[in-house]
Amino acid sequence: HRTARFWCAITGDAVPSRAFAIVTACNPDDRSCDDATNQAADAALAAELDRLGWSRFRVIGGSPDLAHQEPGWAVATGSPAAAIDLGRQWRQVAVFWVDHDRLTLLDCRSGNLESLGSWSGRTQFGPPLGPWRLEPWESRCPRQGSHPLPRRWGSGLPVPRFRWRSVRIFAR
């Protein structure tokens, strides 16, 4: 959680200025689930957020190399306490809270808070996300041979290049 990076479905200037939580329904109780289970949980979470009338937009959180990803939602819960309650409802170990670009990790078990710095500094804003995950792709340039990845987030780590991959969530 502490090294999480985010991919956001809206541009940086369209992010609400008010505070919001980043919550997922994937991998409850910190146990890996298959895509079908995670997609069903994600759809149920989206329906619950809509029922509550909380505005939301897609955010994918994951490791810097995209090896681990959890699609989730940025949602205007109103408070960190409500975000923790929502995380507990969906059996999450932690959720994130963003308030005026300050990113905080909220432990759903203990209620402890840990400041993680700038949210926008960890976030790739860009084209609309597909309904599920990002897929890393080879960073080699056919004309120039090896092409280094751009650097971002102040860590010196390369930012993975990716292409959008859509996975159908609902069966017909």
Question: If you average pLDDT over residues 92-104, what whole number do you get?
Answer: 95
Distance of CA 59 to the CA centre of its chain: 4
pLDDT tens digits along 115-144: 999 999 999 887 655 555 555 433 323 333
Pair of tokens at residue 60: 């994918």
Type of residue numbered 76: A
Number of Cβ within 10 Å of residue 145's Cβ equals 7
pLDDT tens digits along 3-44: 899 988 787 778 776 799 999 999 999 899 998 999 999 999
Distance of CA 99 to the CA centre of its chain: 16
Nearest to 53 by CA among 17, 34, 35, 78: 78
